[in-house]
Amino acid sequence: MTADTRRPCPDRPDRPDRPAAPSPARTTPPPQALAGLRVVEMGQLIAGPFCGKTLGDFGAEVIKIEATGTGDPLRNWRLLKNGTSVWWQVQSRNKRSVALDLRQPEGQDIARRLIAEADVLIENFRPGTLEGWGMAPAQLHVINPGLIILRISGYGQTGPYRDLPGFGVIGEAMGGLRHLTGEPGRVPVRVGVSIGDTLAALHGAIGVLLALYHRQAHGGPGQVIDVALHEAVFNVMESLIPEYSAFGAVREAAGSALPGIAPSNAYPCTDGWVLVAGNGDSIFKRLMQAIGRADLADAPDLAHNAGRVARVDEIDAAIAAWTAPRTVRQVMDSLAAARVPAGKVYTARDIAEDPHYQAREMLLTQTTRDGDTMLAPGIVPKLSATPGRVRHSAPGLGDDTLAVLAEAGLTPQQIALLREKGVIQ
């Protein structure tokens, strides 16, 4: 797919109520929603590459530009197998690797050449980095007017904090999430995954799709998508600011409870913890009946949430007294019979062995370039007609450099000279 801003809209039926023709039996994989979309990914670690992975899972051709010699640092993060991070195998599936020294003018020229033929550029460097390489958005739009440029950074491309270094953990803190995470009065804790980065990546993917639709459906030009890590976190903070504005209320950490909604908490069992969400009016009544507390089920002041919030400690104590002598399985079975939402706190082992994960194809067996197999997360969301899939494994550093440059029109002699000068690997 080229960056032609004049592309027609996808074909639409003349009559929206016309019945669809029966689908023939498929002998080849179904089409993918983003097939033909070309993405150049210049980010590293988590935020930019997670966005690239998301687009790649749904058919986009993702050309990942990495530094010569070292490549993306994620290749060496956390647990390694055969010298490569297993995290890398998930984050970089469906991508092609081009190892390029962007510090050299020739490397910058090659990058511009690849970007000129792309639909989307993803980068998550500190603001000003692209400009320092002669790739400011205005310069790139001269050579590719339809280019969609996604820029993910700690604080965004504008504002007084623009030039400060920012990682996902800082975005989580500034966005308000860290203050609410943990037990009251204790040190704020990390969610457990790089949620600030992945939230920014998903907001970036949404922005890319919005910009592509505008370009395709309305003939709009290319544009820049500016995603700040802290803003992506802040965007999911629910009523945090409206409550402060209206009442001067500063929400605090509440451990495993859901403040202002009752009952919704984690409760102890003999072999672990179970989460119970009994905060619907009718659900609360069924929950109390299931645990033998008809007195609470029938209490007029507990019929609605406001009354339950006022007596939340009493309600939590009643539920905990019932769960404590029981196993997680016993609690789950009893509450399922009563149609009360409840959930076990899953570990990696629980997920890997769970039949529902397996039935939903959320556990994929991936084969690496070294021939190893491993379980990896499946693809979300599930599309009925154009599902995502893993087309190929994560690349080794520079695996696709020669092929991509040849496709871009460089001659074997030019490629050999670039290798000799250390511009490519």
Alpha-carbon distance 121 to 222, whole Å? 11
Strand duo 120-123 + 148-153: pairing: parallel
User: CA torsion sign, 127 to 229 to 104 to 1?
Assistant: negative
Tokens (6 digits) for 355: 């039949």
Q: Give the separation between CA 228 and CA 153, rounded to whole angstroms.
A: 5
Q: Which residues contact 103 (CB under 8 A, 6 or more apart)?
A: none
Q: What is the token pair recorded at 13?
A: 């039926």
Give the Cα separation of 279 and 75 in Å (integer).
44
Planar angle of CA 118, 54, 56, nearest 5 degrees = 50
| Gyration radius (Cα) of the chain, Å | 26
Alpha-carbon distance 243 to 176, whole Å?
13
Q: In which order are the strands placed within the sheet that holds 342-344?
A: 264-269, 272-277, 342-344
Which of these, 35, 18, 182, 43, lies nearest to 124 by C-alpha position? 43
Q: In what order do the strands lie in the sheet with 223-228?
A: 95-99, 61-66, 38-41, 120-123, 148-153, 223-228
**Alpha carbon distance 183, 262 (integer Å):** 18
Cis peptide upstream of residue 381 (ω within 30 degrees of 0): yes
Query: Exactly one of 101, 197, 226, 316 is catalytic; which is it?
Result: 197
Active site residue 163: no
- The alpha carbon of 115 is separated from its chain's Cα centroid by a whole number of angstroms, namely 24
DSSP structural state of residue 94: T
Q: Which residues are catalytic, by number?
A: 197
